[in-house]
Amino acid sequence: MKQFSIASVALFVTVTAIAQETDTDREIKDIASRPEIQRAFEIIVELEPETERNLIELTEIPAPPFKEEVRAARYLELMRDAGIEDASIDEVGNVLGEWPGTEGHETVALVAHLDTVFPEGTDVTVKRKGDQLHAPGIGDDTRGLALMIAVIQAMKRAEVKTKDNVLFVASVGEEGLGDLRGVKHLFREGGPRIDQFIAVDGGSTERVLNHATGSHRYRLTFKGPGGHSFGAFGLGNPAHALSRAIYYFDQAAGEYVISGTKTTYNIGRIGGGTSINSIPFENWAEVDMRSNDPKRLEEIDAIFQKAVKRALDEQNELRRDGEPLTVDVDLIGDRPSGLVDPSTLLIQRALAATRYFGVEPSLTTGSTDANVPIARGIPATTIGRGGDGGGGHSLHEWWANKDGHLGIQKALLILVASAGLAVK
Ligand SMILES: [Zn+2]
């Protein structure tokens, strides 16, 4: 029974610790009580109709992967109108707005992404159904973009001053095969200095992301001479090689992922071939692997590479005629993974600001623009966009302004706390 009582004491201590106010909670309350922050909070509420207009207008400008320019151009105007006159667009299409700090030693980035998952031609007209706004991309992440404009407007009009610089970023290429190219460019050699990074993306208000799920994506293509199924029988068959590779990969990977940090794999699409009575000259598959642990991502990748090589060798061994089969293994997506220690000030501030608005926060995992800084050891997080919503990445996506202003106020509070409020 001794063990039991120790466990009870430990549990009691943990619960008490959660209930107690931390230093960061006090810091956040203190900042939130400052007159210019209270004024900024009011302005955010006053701006609600305008923020909704911005959301609808931006949603109705299509921004398919790799085609964000039109939306970016409009966003640049909105950023300038909000008060950052010298906002600009960089080489890859990110919209950047610099907010100079009074001291300016460090820089905090606030980021929302411009792109959606929807291809060209998708109907992005916003339709109102009761208090819900329906349109593909309205939540993910057009709401993040509208939120950021409201943050800039409120900081400007309430004359909020920060010690460190803030860099407002509307990024390109967050989704899918965009492969985080906007943020990867931001963190290039010689890119702008960024010491802390806050992405606004994701539905739930309690979300404070501190764990980045990494992924490797490949397009795997087996190639051979191809020919008649009867007349040229005996040539190496790329479809057979591909099937064999998938079989070996699934067999070994399936076993590997049973234990340890969550690691997944998926063959999302396969294709190729000419007709039922032709030996194909090409067959391909798209492969996605993910893990929260960079080491395990490398390990499952190695399992994949080994399966491909084994399949190629065996299939060439079986071939009776013709040139050997070849294989291309093209990396088409590489999202780095990593973990931000929950005791990091940025994470503590994000948690405390969430509690300040009466929501019990939870630490989460995901794949967002924050993956890039997290993998480099730069404090980074992703927070929710406020309001209510659903149907992300589907044509039925919707967003509703259920206390949406709280999400904007929270983003402003975390940003100002991280950049340091300059007391006038
Ligand atoms: Zn998103």
pLDDT digit string, tens, across residues 182-222: 999 999 999 999 999 999 998 888 999 999 999 999 999 99
Cα of 31 vs centre of ligand 1, distance in Å, is 29
Do both 82 and 130 map to the same domain? yes
pTM over 0.85: yes
Do both 208 and 232 map to the same domain? no
Do both 274 and 325 map to the same domain? yes
The reply to whether 156 falls in a domain is yes
Least confident of 1-10, 88-97, 291-300, 317-326: 1-10
Model confidence at 388: pLDDT above 50: yes
**Closest to 208 in 3D by CA, of 81, 89, 345:** 345
- Return the H-helix or E-strand segment holding 326: strand 326-335
Cα of 367 vs centre of ligand 1, distance in Å, is 9
The reply to whether 8 falls in a domain is no
The reply to whether 247 falls in a domain is yes
Cα of 78 vs centre of ligand 1, distance in Å, is 20
Given this model, what pLDDT does residue 18 score? 52
Cα of 165 vs centre of ligand 1, distance in Å, is 25
Question: What percent of the chain stands above pLDDT 90?
Answer: 92
Mean pLDDT throughout 97-117? 98
Model confidence at 177: pLDDT above 90: no
The reply to whether 7 falls in a domain is no
Do both 252 and 157 map to the same domain? no
Do both 74 and 112 map to the same domain? yes
Cα of 152 vs centre of ligand 1, distance in Å, is 20
Cα of 309 vs centre of ligand 1, distance in Å, is 35
Mean pLDDT throughout 104-132? 97
The reply to whether 1 falls in a domain is no
pLDDT band at 14 (very low <50, low <70, confident <90, very high): very low
Of 335, 353, 383, the residue that ends a domain is 335
Q: Which residue has the higher pLDDT, 423 or 156?
A: 156
Contact between 233 and 318 (Cβ < 8 Å): no
Model confidence at 173: pLDDT above 90: yes
Do both 124 and 195 map to the same domain? yes
**Tens-digit pLDDT profile for residues 280-308:** 999 999 999 999 888 999 999 999 999 99
pLDDT band at 19 (very low <50, low <70, confident <90, very high): low
Of 335, 369, 401, the residue that ends a domain is 335
Model confidence at 45: pLDDT above 90: yes
Do both 250 and 293 map to the same domain? yes
Cα of 99 vs centre of ligand 1, distance in Å, is 24
Given this model, what pLDDT does residue 158 score? 98
Structure tokens at 62: 């299509």
Cα of 141 vs centre of ligand 1, distance in Å, is 5
Question: CA–CA distance from 380 to each of 108, 170, 330, 370 (Å)?
Answer: 10, 16, 29, 6
Cα of 173 vs centre of ligand 1, distance in Å, is 10
The sign of the CA dihedral 252, 258, 263, 269 is positive
**Closest to 335 in 3D by CA, of 301, 362, 384:** 301
Mean pLDDT throughout 91-113? 98
**Tens-digit pLDDT profile for residues 48-95:** 999 999 999 999 999 999 999 999 999 999 999 999 999 999 999 999
Cα of 114 vs centre of ligand 1, distance in Å, is 9
Do both 251 and 371 map to the same domain? no
Do both 250 and 372 map to the same domain? no
Model confidence at 4: pLDDT above 70: no
Segments forming the whole domain that contains residue 321: 215-335
The reply to whether 264 falls in a domain is yes
Cα of 399 vs centre of ligand 1, distance in Å, is 14
User: CATH number, domain at 158?
Assistant: 3.40.630.10
Do both 361 and 323 map to the same domain? no
List, in sequence order, every residue forming a beta bridge with 95; answer none if it has no partner: 89, 170
Mean pLDDT throughout 347-363? 97
Cα of 208 vs centre of ligand 1, distance in Å, is 15
Model confidence at 46: pLDDT above 90: yes
Mean pLDDT throughout 362-385? 96
User: CATH number, domain at 316?
Assistant: 3.30.70.360
Cα of 17 vs centre of ligand 1, distance in Å, is 34
The reply to whether 18 falls in a domain is no
**Tens-digit pLDDT profile for residues 224-281:** 999 999 999 999 999 999 999 999 999 999 999 999 999 999 999 999 999 999 999 9
Cα of 307 vs centre of ligand 1, distance in Å, is 33
Cα of 390 vs centre of ligand 1, distance in Å, is 12
Do both 321 and 352 map to the same domain? no
Do both 241 and 313 map to the same domain? yes
Return the half-sphere exposure (C-beta side, CA atoms, 13 A cut-off) of residue 393. 7
Model confidence at 24: pLDDT above 50: yes
Return the half-sphere exposure (C-beta side, CA atoms, 13 A cut-off) of residue 412. 31
Model confidence at 9: pLDDT above 60: no
DSSP one-letter code for 402: S
Domain count, the chain: 2
The reply to whether 52 falls in a domain is yes
Of 287, 306, 335, the residue that ends a domain is 335
Model confidence at 309: pLDDT above 70: yes
Mean pLDDT throughout 110-132? 97
Cα of 345 vs centre of ligand 1, distance in Å, is 24
Given this model, what pLDDT does residue 16 score? 40
Give the chain's mean pLDDT.
Answer: 94
Cα of 318 vs centre of ligand 1, distance in Å, is 46
